[in-house]
Amino acid sequence: MAKKIYLDSRESPVYITLLGISCHLKDYRLSYLLNYHIPAEFSKLDDLKIMPAAKKESSEFSFYYFKDEDRFNSYSLISNRNQESALIAEMKQTDFILIVEGEFRKPQKDALLKNIKAIPNVLTCYELKLAEIKNHEHLLSEIELHVMKQHRSAKTQYKPSQLK
C-alpha cells in the first residue's frame, strides 16, 4: 500500500503586530514625525486600493512603508479613513493603522508605543487585536500584494540599459 505524505504548505509563522493611532494630523505629517521619533524612514507609496466591507466600489487609503533591515521588520502606515469609508469598520475611532511585520518583542512594542504617544497631537496609540478584525486575512493579503507590486514597479522603472 502506498504511503501518503502530507506537506504543510505554510511557511514559518508570520508575526504581525497591529497598532491603532488616533490623531488629528495629516498622513504626511504623521509619517514625518514617526521618522523622527521612532526613528524610521517611511516613504510614500501609491495609495492602497481596496474594497471595504459593505461597499460596492474600491476606496483609496494613503500608504507609507518602511523596511527595517537591522531588525528584520517591515512597517506599513495606512490611513484608516478617507472621505467615504473606513478601512477597518470595527475601528472607526482609529485614524491610522501601523502594521509591524516580523518578530516584535514586548520591550520593543512598549518602546514603540511610548515613542508614538510622545508625538505632539497624537491622542493615543494602542495595540489592536488581530482576532477582533473580521476580514483581517483579506486585508493583510491585499497589503502584501500592494507592497510587492510597488517594489516590482520600482525595479522595472529604471532598467540598467537606460542608465548608460
The residue that leads in pLDDT, 147 or 6, is 147
Strand-strand pairing, 16-23 and 96-101: antiparallel
Q: Can you give the pLDDT at residue 13?
A: 56
End-to-end Cα separation, the chain, in angstroms: 62
Residue 30 pLDDT greater than 70, yes or no? yes
pLDDT confidence tier of residue 25, bands split at 50, 70 and 90: very high
Q: Check residue 90 and report its DSSP letter.
A: G
Residue pair 99/20 in contact (Cβ under 8 Å)? The answer is: no
Full-model pTM:
0.82
**Strand, coil or helix: what is 19?**
strand
CA 95 to chain centroid, in Å, comes to 13
Q: So where are the chain's domains? A: 27-84+102-130
Q: What is the pLDDT of residues 142-157, one digit of tens each?
A: 888 888 888 887 766 5
Measured between alpha carbons, how far is 78 from 40 in angstroms, rounded to an integer? 15
